[in-house]
């Protein structure tokens, strides 16, 4: 698969492949995707040597995380790197749903929350949707118009999770 970079997670160094698989499409980005097609996509990536998978609560309002976790749980946890994002919480409601997502779960919408506590909640909720015991890399998701809150709330929360050895790396996904 080519060169890899190393990420330290507690006592374990993880290799991050230079090529990964973004999982927004299995959350229904622009078009509906069946559970079978989503599963096959992740399995095919693994089969071809991809070991870095990126998802987010926003992607299909949690659908991408649930689908990714369903596949990845069946594989040795040491065999892949998983990244997801924080900065949006999925909450009951319908107002604000983006039309780019097909077949959204009924009654949930993403709500921006870059606060320290919101980031910790987002992390825990992602773990639940994924059904995994850890997330390797956490990114602050789309803080473009929320820079001050992201720097004062989200960044310290991620830094604490990393310093405590709970996650291996942090970053930002921006437009």
- pLDDT over 60 (residue 101): yes
Fold of the CATH domain 4-16+26-173: TIM Barrel (3.20.20)
Query: What's the whole-model pTM score?
Result: 0.92
- pLDDT over 70 (residue 3): no
Q: Which residues contact 49 (CB under 8 A, 6 or more apart)?
A: 1, 17
Please pick, among 46, 53, 59, 110, the residue that the annotation labels catalytic: 59
Residue 27 has which token pair? Answer: 């959350």
* Residue 59 annotated in active site: yes
Distance, C-alpha 113 to centroid of its chain: 15
**Among 66, 63, 119, which residue's Cα sits nearest to residue 88?**
119
DSSP-assigned beta bridge partners for residue 139? 85, 171
Give burial (CB, 10 Å; 0-12/13-18/19+) of 173. middle
Average pLDDT over residues 27-47: 97
How far apart are alpha carbons 120 and 100 in whole angstroms?
Answer: 27
Phi, psi of 147 (to 5 degrees): -55, -50
pLDDT in tens, 70-84: 999 999 999 999 999
Q: Which residue has the higher pLDDT, 149 or 94?
A: 149
C-alpha separations of 124 from 32, 47, 75 in Å = 27, 29, 21
């Amino acid at each position: 698969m080519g060169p890899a970079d190393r990420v330290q997670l507690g006592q374990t160094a993880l290799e991050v492949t230079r090529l990964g698989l973004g999982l927004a499409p299995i959350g229904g980005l622009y078009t509906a995707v069946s559970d079978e097609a989503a599963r096959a996509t992740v399995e095919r990536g693994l089969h071809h040597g991809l070991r870095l998978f990126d998802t987010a609560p926003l992607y299909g309002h949690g659908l991408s995380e649930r689908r990714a976790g369903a596949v990845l749980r069946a594989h040795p946890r040491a065999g892949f790197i998983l990244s997801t994002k924080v900065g949006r919480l999925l909450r009951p409601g319908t107002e604000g749903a983006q039309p780019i997502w097909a077949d959204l779960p009924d009654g949930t919408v993403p709500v921006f929350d870059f606060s320290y506590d919101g980031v910790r909640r987002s992390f825990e909720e992602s773990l639940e949707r994924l059904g995994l015991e850890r997330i390797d890399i956490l990114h602050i998701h789309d803080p473009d118009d929320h820079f001050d809150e992201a720097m004062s709330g989200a960044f310290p929360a991620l830094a604490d999770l990393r310093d405590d050895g709970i996650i291996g790396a942090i970053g930002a996904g921006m437009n």
